[in-house]
Structure 1
Amino acid sequence: MSEQTINEPVSRQALNKIILPLTTPGRGKATWQIANTLIPYALLWALAIYAFKTDLPNWIGILSILVAGPFLVRIFIIFHDCCHSSYFKSNWANTLVGYLTGILSFTPFRDWGKAHIHHHATAGNLDKRGVGDIWTLTVEEYITAPKLKRITYRIFRHPLFMFGVGPSYVFLVFHRFSQKGIQHKGRLSVYITNLALLLLLLLGGATIGYKTYLAIQIPITVLAATLGVWLFYVQHQYEEVYWARNDVRDSLKAALEGSSYYKLPKIAQWFSGNIGLHHIHHLNPSIPNYNLQRCHNEIQKLQHIEPMGVRKSFKSLHIHLWDEDTKKLISFKAMNLIRKARRKKENP
């Protein structure tokens, strides 16, 4: 992929200079995106409530939930941009909308934002894994790890855990607690989010009943969380992804080759707020999501990145370990072949 990244050598600073005009937030675009996201989301909630509380067929309520899930993904993308202070020019507007969309998506604004900024600063850095990313071991680390750690890692990386248990745990449980080492503002954002969610639960219980509220809220949140975790997974977990040790890490390669260009169908791209253009987002996180496609279209040097289609993205489910020799993510099966070859060499 590296040979196809750009036509000629170019620095990250030079690219960012070209991109600079597209980092300016547009109040009109932001406001319209909020409207075309939150209004349908609220209407789908209302339809689900009406379906479950009246004689309407239950499938109408279920369909409303299934459509509301992708809208909540879009809400999370707005939240994500607010964490980067890229959605509006105004810091207070980013903070206000960030807190509100964070409550809707069960994610504390300051706490999550700090971890995510750390993720951007350390993406593709083998020596700085562990914060805001998906647990990834190298082949050597896995082979030399204690048996219990290897078993735990295999369970964690299994698709049924990663996309079955993982999303629900992260958004419903993990985000209810502040992260280790977080400062006062981060802890406060966790408290505010948790209090707001409790108030929403009490309000829901008092108006439509706890059973109805939870029957709508939990499936929407779990569906959105699962879709979101999948998007994040394929953005940094694919065979040709870039990883390097700290002393040789190239920040431009980490952005353009350490983050995928996940080319989605237009409707999926709309719901995911263009986040499939993740390589551009990592090149400059100050570009609001509503400008990412325009950036791709207008900057010729970014049009040579090889896209990952939906079909190809499913191959990412079977690669789990970073091989520092081949510079690729490989499967457990490939790792076993490496281990057998080593044993054969050691004991001819």
Structure 2
Amino acid sequence: MTFDKTTDQRGDPRSPKQLLIASKEFASEHRLLSWWHLWSTLAVCFALIGVSISDLSLWLRIPASIAVGLVTVRLFIIYHDYQHSAILAKSVLARWIMATYGMLVLAPTSVWKHSHDVHHRKNSQTFGANVGSYPIMTTHAYANALASEKFSYAASRHPLTIVLGYFTVFIWRMCLQAFISNPREHFDGGVAILLHVALAIGLLMFGVDVMMLGLIVPLFVASGLGAYLFYAQHNYPSAKMHPSSEWSHVDAALQSSSFIPMNPVMNWFTGNIGYHHVHHLNARIPFYRLPEAMAALPELQTPGVTTLRPGDIAACLRLKLWCPDQEKFVGFNGM
């Protein structure tokens, strides 16, 4: 019997292990293409920064500054893939570029890699506060929580916390909180804050507008969009959660990680991170091969979907608790 991509050699449906093995076909980079994506994106970013801090009209500088924020998201995905060893592994030059970039965007390597690796290992298998993700409580746990715990939990998932990700996620959690809790392990969190302050002061010497458009606005845009994307990738209406005893890596990828379809422009800015279920199946697949993998593996073609349309964003943000009885996310009112 000939081998079909949806079945094993006996014609049976492909098992989770077989799907993981099949995904390895795409878990290899094209080295020159990886360098091209990095250098070309850096070139676009620097060009836009140049416009943002120039003497040109604000009508040009403000859109350029916002665009820097969007390009920063793309660079973050490249940084993210490097940390997964999906691209440019073992390159000394890449290591220095990525370490510098991580500190510039307030996501220092030691903090980001630790928290994100934990997230990949434990995606959708635990409830309550967990490292590298938004905390999730069940309806039962929330009903029995102290008032202070309810307030802290509600604040952590509030839309303002996501919109203000520049302050809440990156300055506080990724840098200050990590550095304060373990300065020896996360010393680069402190270095990132010092570098950020130094850059802000240096740009301020050329004017408030230069500081705002050259640094604050781009990071505000990138952090807010990044924080929402990370939220919607695992907190969407059809997402499923699993107790630890029932958790499966493949189930978590296919049932608890969303697909966010975007137009080609937004796919470029976000580095194809909308194909998040594919990424969670195999984090070694380079971002530029995620669409290829989804097209080739039928099991990846019926994911849970959300979009960046206002209605779908609002639907995701309304989700607050996991209800085991209904087996779905609900709001604080149980609906």
What do residues 239-278 of structure 1 show as CA deviations (whole Å, max 9, x unaligned)? 2212111111122111111100111222111110011111
What do residues 58-106 of structure 1 show as CA deviations (whole Å, max 9, x unaligned)? 2211111111110011111111112112121325355223213213322
Q: Which secondary structure does the structure 1 equivalent of 2:86 belong to?
A: coil
Q: Distance in 1 between matches of 2:118 and 2:124?
A: 12
Q: Distance in 2 between matches of 1:180 and 1:119?
A: 21
* Pair 165,128 (structure 1): closer, same or farther in 2 beyond 3 Å: closer
Aligned to 1:43: 47
Q: Distance in 2 between matches of 1:66 and 1:228?
A: 14
Q: Distance in 1 between matches of 2:325 and 2:94?
A: 43
TM-score between the two structures when normalised by the length of structure 2: 0.87
Unaligned runs of 5+ in 1: 1-5, 336-348
Question: Which amino acid is 2:282 matched to?
Answer: N
* Pair 196,150 (structure 1): closer, same or farther in 2 beyond 3 Å: closer
Q: Which secondary structure does the structure 1 equivalent of 2:115 belong to?
A: helix
Q: Which secondary structure does the structure 2 equivalent of 1:322 belong to?
A: strand
Aligned to 2:239: 241
Moved more, 88-97 or 245-254: 88-97
* Pair 94,253 (structure 1): closer, same or farther in 2 beyond 3 Å: farther
The question of whether the paired residues in 1 share the 8 Å contact of 2:106 and 2:189 is answered with: no
Higher share of residues assigned helix: 1
The question of whether the paired residues in 2 share the 8 Å contact of 1:242 and 1:257 is answered with: yes
* Pair 326,252 (structure 1): closer, same or farther in 2 beyond 3 Å: same
* Pair 179,286 (structure 1): closer, same or farther in 2 beyond 3 Å: farther
Pairing 1:174–2:178 present: no
Q: Which secondary structure does the structure 1 equivalent of 2:333 belong to?
A: helix
Q: Distance in 1 between matches of 2:157 and 2:128?
A: 20
Give the drift of 1:31.
Answer: 1.2
* 1:183-332 equivalent positions in 2, closer than 5 A: 184=184, 186-201=185-200, 203-204=202-203, 208-209=206-207, 212-311=210-309, 312-332=312-332
Q: Distance in 1 between matches of 2:228 and 2:255?
A: 19
Q: Which secondary structure does the structure 2 equivalent of 1:334 belong to?
A: coil
2:31 to 27, 48, 73: 27
Q: Which secondary structure does the structure 2 equivalent of 1:102 belong to?
A: helix
The question of whether the paired residues in 2 share the 8 Å contact of 1:260 and 1:279 is answered with: yes
Could you say what the CA RMSD is over the residues aligned between the two structures, in angstroms?
A: 2.4
Query: How many equivalent pairs are there?
Result: 323
* Pair 87,188 (structure 1): closer, same or farther in 2 beyond 3 Å: farther
Q: Distance in 2 between matches of 1:138 and 1:180?
A: 30
